[in-house]
Structure 1
Amino acid sequence: MEKDPPLVSICMPAYNAGKYISEAVNSIIAQSYQNWELIIVNDGSTDDTAEELKKITDERIKIYDQNNQGQCAAANKAFSFSKGALIKFMDADDMISINHISSQVATLSGTTKDIAFGSWGRFYDDDIETFSLNTEIIKLDMQPFDWLVQSMTGKQVMLQCALWLIPRSIIDRAGLWDDRLCLINDFEFFIRLLLHSQQLKYSENAILYYRSGVPGSLSGTRSAKSARSAYNSINWGTQHLLKVENTPRIRKIAADCFQDLIYTLYPDHKAIVEEARQKVKEYGGSDIPFQAGGFTKILVQLMGWKAAKVIRSRFYKSMSK
């Protein structure tokens, strides 16, 4: 007798996602795999997210409201209502390919020890026609630690939540999202989560369409709270790696992560930038270059990255007034 296909629970926190959430939800409704439930937690949105959610009629979709507590708390609440043996966290402004879930379920093939991952690419200006698949994707089944090292050596790792299909038992062992974090919170969470799995398995037909350039998104927030969150997430995430292997190559990865944070936060948040600088020094230094394009790249060549960041920061602040 054939077993029923496993229930997949998609956990979706939503904050001011009214412009995008219908597309995200429709990409789930369109899945070739049909045994799923979608749990959406509206995290105190102040736009028309609630009105958009009222248009949903699919009985597999459950919607809950809470006062604004942050993305991590909303994701954890969604998980608390989930019933599936397999879990996918997903942002409310991204989309997934039609065979995304079926591909990952088939890849896992009943295992509760492994995590499935897929491919991803960006699209811009809310135009899916601009989508381009990332060419640096690892397309091999790998041990979690080896995958993380390869993905983080000389580049920024992509740990976006919808990439992964996760057996519930792994989350139960690793723990949920750390609700003290509000910026790059996926960095700490997924490093911790992946290291609790036995193997990462690649699903060729599982594609994430990652929306870039969303105004007001968490990745674009630069408050003091967000800066501290970014520092803590990098600190705690790299500590997970160092507990497995405290060697020069892992310390170099940690140093590069903190150096990239310095590039991001400078010239604001001077105290946190200094803490990050001390971490870079502690881990042996970093030689990763400052990444820039367009006019900023010209400024970097003429004046150095620090002066370029100061000028760019002043420009954006003047534009926002």
Structure 2
Amino acid sequence: MKKPIVSIVIPVYNKAAFVRETLESALGQTYPNLEIVLVDDGSTDGSFEILKEYFAKYPDKIQLIDQENQGVSVATNVGTAAARGEYIQFLDADDLLSPDKINRQIKLLESQSESVLASCEWRMFQDNPKKSYPIPYGVFRDFNFGLDLLLQFWNHQEMNQPGVYLTHRSLIEKAGPWDESMTINQDGEFFTRVLLHAEKVLFESKGNVYYRSPGEGNVSQQKSAKAIKSLLDSYQCYEREVLKFEDSKRVRIALKKVYQKFIYDVFPHYPDLIAKAESLIQNLGVAEKTYIGGPKFQLLSKLLGFKNALRLKRFLG
């Protein structure tokens, strides 16, 4: 039986310092039937020249698309549309995959329906993946429903790096494209929709994604008002999508914690956006007290209240 094609979709914008290592990681996969779809999003640092070099060397394995700068979501959607694979592996242009990552996940999915998603562990590193370190999260396990994984994220302020997933094309088609209007947390919003359509999530315990610790130029490190507004917009998308799927007390409690985490992250800046997040919390109608942050901050919140605990935390630095 012929193995399904897996497409590794890599949007690239000004990653000349790292993209060679990422490409070697993709080309070094032990899974035999794969293609790499590279979308250069108007790079100005020599990234495109590196991509052309690899395309010339591996023309049967690489698709190369060049476009004007339109943002990572547009580039990802273009790459996904061009991909020939039955399964899609998204990969940031500065992150790495362990050599057996895709092969192990394909084996896990072989006997499953198209609505089952595979995940794996992600580890942080700076310069050398051999010196990567684990993240102590509770997401590294199987989940009977995609929603259960989302609730784990939201209740415990955890996340998955998008490269951990191997996703069947039909699941992506059900979820819809990446939202091209967003400037931050595009992956979180997109995979919220994917997970809501997922029958279950199977965790592969030995393959890894190596997530390069973000630097100052990383999109996820944006602190502009536009980026912060886009972040809150993405959380409202969570709310809209998940309540269509299940409008329950447990979901509303988890959403309340999402908005609390937003306030926790931006306080005392952007008071208008904080006020909006507080209004969104009120609209959820959750009477129960909810607490986020580490044990010390949660204790402070219980003693002083959430906002006073934040004021004290900022005062103490």
Same fold (TM over 0.5): yes
Shorter-normalised TM range: 0.7 to 0.9
Q: Residue type matched to 1:105 in 2?
A: I
Structure 2 length-normalised TM? 0.87
Q: Residue type matched to 2:266 in 1?
A: L
Q: Which residue of 2 aligns with 1:146?
A: 148
Q: Which residue of 1 aligns with 2:310?
A: 305
Mapped partners of 1:19, 1:306: distance in 2? 40
Residues 1:88 and 2:89 are matched in the alignment? yes
Q: Which residue of 1 aligns with 2:24?
A: 26
Mapped partners of 1:206, 1:254: distance in 2? 31
Q: Residue type matched to 1:26 in 2?
A: E
Contact 2:41 2:68 in 1 (8 A): yes
Q: Which residue of 2 aligns with 1:289?
A: 293
Q: Please say which of residues 132-141 and 284-293 is displaced more in the overlay.
A: 284-293
Contact 2:52 2:64 in 1 (8 A): no
Sort the Cα spacing of 1:135 and 1:268 in 2 relative to 1 into closer, same or farther, 3 A: closer
Q: Residue type matched to 1:93 in 2?
A: D
Structure 1 length-normalised TM? 0.86
Q: Which residue of 1 aligns with 2:121?
A: 119
Q: CA deviation at 1:245?
A: 2.5
Q: CA deviation at 1:210?
A: 0.9
Mapped partners of 2:63, 2:233: distance in 1? 33
Mapped partners of 2:179, 2:87: distance in 1? 20
Contact 1:280 1:286 in 2 (8 A): no
Q: Which runs of 5+ in 2 are unaligned?
A: 298-307
Identity level (%): 30
Mapped partners of 2:315, 2:62: distance in 1? 46
1:38 counterpart (36, 39, 44): 36
Q: Which residue of 2 aligns with 1:53?
A: 51
Contact 1:267 1:310 in 2 (8 A): no
Mapped partners of 1:119, 1:87: distance in 2? 18
Q: Residue type matched to 1:67 in 2?
A: E
Q: Which residue of 1 aligns with 2:300?
A: none
Mapped partners of 1:212, 1:204: distance in 2? 22
Q: CA deviation at 1:89?
A: 1.1
Corresponding residue SS for 1:195 = helix
CA-based RMSD: 2.3
Mapped partners of 1:21, 1:267: distance in 2? 37
Q: Which residue of 2 aligns with 1:318?
A: none
Q: CA deviation at 1:292?
A: 10
Mapped partners of 1:235, 1:132: distance in 2? 32
Mapped partners of 2:292, 2:166: distance in 1? 32
Contact 1:185 1:233 in 2 (8 A): yes
Q: CA deviation at 1:76?
A: 0.1
Between the two proteins, the alignment pairs up a number of residues equal to 299
Sort the Cα spacing of 1:311 and 1:70 in 2 relative to 1 into closer, same or farther, 3 A: farther
Contact 1:14 1:43 in 2 (8 A): yes
Contact 1:159 1:190 in 2 (8 A): no
Q: Residue type matched to 1:305 in 2?
A: L
Contact 2:196 2:245 in 1 (8 A): no
Q: CA deviation at 1:307?
A: 6.4
